[in-house]
Amino acid sequence: MKKRFKKIYIEITNCCNRSCSFCPPTRRPPGFMSVTHFRHILREIRPWTDYIYLHVKGEPLLHPQLNQILAAAAGEKIYVNLTTNGTLLARQQETLLRYPIRQINISLHSFESGGTDAFNDYIHSAVSFARTFSPKHGITAFRLWNFPPEAKPALSCIGHSSGSNADSPENRRSGAGSASQLNNRCSSAGSAGQLNDHCNGAGSASQLNNRCSSAGSAGQLNDYCNGAGSADSNFSGSNERILNMLSSAFGFQGRLAPELYTQNDARLAEKIFLSFDREFQWPSLDAPDLGAQGSCFGLKSHLAILWDGTVVPCCLDGDGILALGNIFTQSFEEILHSPKSCRIAEGFQKHTAVEALCRRCGYRTRFRVPETLR
């Protein structure tokens, strides 16, 4: 039987070892979802979906119990999709190959500093992983989602799945990271004694390697964030360079350019794709009000659960502003039937954004408003 949600996003951590310029640091406390909580979520949502996506904010490959997370998902026979910035693929390769994963999205636009050698190593490592993972284990989808708005029309709207199912906005990351932005990322202690000191350093760009360097459970965390290279250099990997490297690595015949792939992704090899999209803006209460007219698929085809159990209508609410409830203290069904959830869902059915954040969400404007409502 078809389940209500095409997918549910689960943020297993909101800590990250990168600092992409367009990705505002979350205002929530940093933390990691426990395996016990993850299992609880799976049991709650299993009747509602067959697909989970391990990402909202943060870098999922940082999770120190990633193997147990993936094992739990395999136990529930749920399809796992994972989006990563790609810097820790080599380190987590054994785990990623051991458990079933339907698709891994690698956001190449999130590596913007680190010097030429580090950049080359990063791309080579991502390519090497893709070749090992696909086609045998699952799909690899490289993402280059940092083109200016005029570069191509919206390709990857929710529900408009392309060949590689690059259909979600959850990781629209792009742009060059800046040293000054490192300070705010994962800078405070986690709650409830959970991995309190995770990601607690990084006062400057040059300290990137020290992020997440202390405490953590079972002494497992120390090395996790060391793979991203130094951020001292001003080097910015150009898209052209990435495209040349991918083209050459996969012997791609033809030209890789966003304007040529407006309806589908470029197929680089069997089950290996490249998706282009324009730079994404996270919705913000500080953004201009775009009006109430419009809709999106939040609460219809998907929703998201943050690491602390907060349920939100979409994967773009990285600050939990639209919190509908908490799955650690309420049943999933109760949250779905709450007055707030119903109000938002019914509003979208009538092409009306009822929440202040939704009125300021540029992503919503990608969906066509029926002529009768214009």
Q: Smallest distance, Å, CB 50 to ligand SF4?
A: 22
Which single residue is written with the structure tokens 């079933």? 100
Contacts of 240 (CB under 8 A, 6+ apart): none
C-beta of 16 vs 155, nearer to ligand SF4? 16
Q: Does 363 bind ligand SF4 (CB under 6 A)?
A: yes
C-beta of 30 vs 283, nearer to ligand SF4? 283
Q: Does 357 bind ligand SF4 (CB under 6 A)?
A: yes
Compute the CA torsion angle 265, 277, 141, 236 (nearest 10 deg). Answer: 130
Q: What is the 3-state secondary structure (H, E, C) of 346-360?
A: HHHHCCECCCHHHHC
**Alpha-carbon distance 374 to 369, whole Å?**
7
Q: Smallest distance, Å, CB 169 to ligand SF4?
A: 7
CA distances from 325 to 22, 285, 304, 306 (A): 28, 20, 11, 11
Q: Smallest distance, Å, CB 41 to ligand SF4?
A: 20
DSSP character at residue 232: -
The number of beta carbons lying within 10 Å of the beta carbon of residue 126 is: 26
Start-to-end Cα distance in the chain: 35
Closest CA to 133 of 167, 193, 191, 90: 90
Which single residue is written with the structure tokens 């997440």? 212
Q: Does 198 bind ligand SF4 (CB under 6 A)?
A: no
**Segment 84 to 143, residues that bind ligand SF4, using CB under 6 A:** 85, 110
C-beta of 187 vs 247, nearer to ligand SF4? 187
The number of beta carbons lying within 10 Å of the beta carbon of residue 259 is: 12
C-beta of 9 vs 250, nearer to ligand SF4? 9
341 neighbors 313 (Cβ within 8 angstroms): yes
Of the candidate residues 317, 320, 325, 332, the single one contacting ligand SF4 (CB under 6 A): 317
Specify the stretch interacting with ligand SF4 by CB under 6 A; choose among 127-135, 243-251, 285-293, 353-361. 353-361
Q: Does 283 bind ligand SF4 (CB under 6 A)?
A: yes
269 DSSP β-pair partners: 272
Q: Smallest distance, Å, CB 229 to ligand SF4?
A: 13
**Alpha-carbon distance 65 to 61, whole Å?**
9
Q: Smallest distance, Å, CB 294 to ligand SF4?
A: 7
**Segment 6 to 65, residues that bind ligand SF4, using CB under 6 A:** 16, 18-20, 23, 57-59
Q: Does 145 bind ligand SF4 (CB under 6 A)?
A: no
**Alpha-carbon distance 57 to 26, whole Å?**
8
Give how far the C-alpha of residue 172 lies from the chain's centroid of Cα atoms, to the nearest Å.
Answer: 7
Specify the stretch interacting with ligand SF4 by CB under 6 A; choose among 65-73, 213-221, 268-276, 312-320. 312-320
Specify the stretch interacting with ligand SF4 by CB under 6 A; choose among 62-70, 221-229, 250-258, 311-319. 311-319
C-beta of 256 vs 314, nearer to ligand SF4? 314
Q: Smallest distance, Å, CB 77 to ligand SF4?
A: 28
Q: Smallest distance, Å, CB 24 to ligand SF4?
A: 8
Q: Smallest distance, Å, CB 75 to ligand SF4?
A: 27
Q: Does 155 bind ligand SF4 (CB under 6 A)?
A: no
Of the candidate residues 190, 298, 320, 325, the single one contacting ligand SF4 (CB under 6 A): 298
Contacts of 144 (CB under 8 A, 6+ apart): 108, 109, 239, 242, 243, 258, 274, 275, 276, 277
Here's the x/- map for ligand SF4, 70-89, by CB under 6 A: it reads as ---------------x----
Q: Smallest distance, Å, CB 117 to ligand SF4?
A: 20
User: Counting beta carbons within 10 angstroms of the beta carbon of residue 350, is it exposed (0 to 12), middle (13 to 18) or buried (19 or more)?
Assistant: exposed
Question: Where on the chain is the footprint of ligand SF4 (CB under 6 A)?
Answer: 16, 18-20, 23, 57-59, 85, 110, 171, 173, 283, 296, 298, 313-314, 316-317, 353, 357-358, 361, 363-364
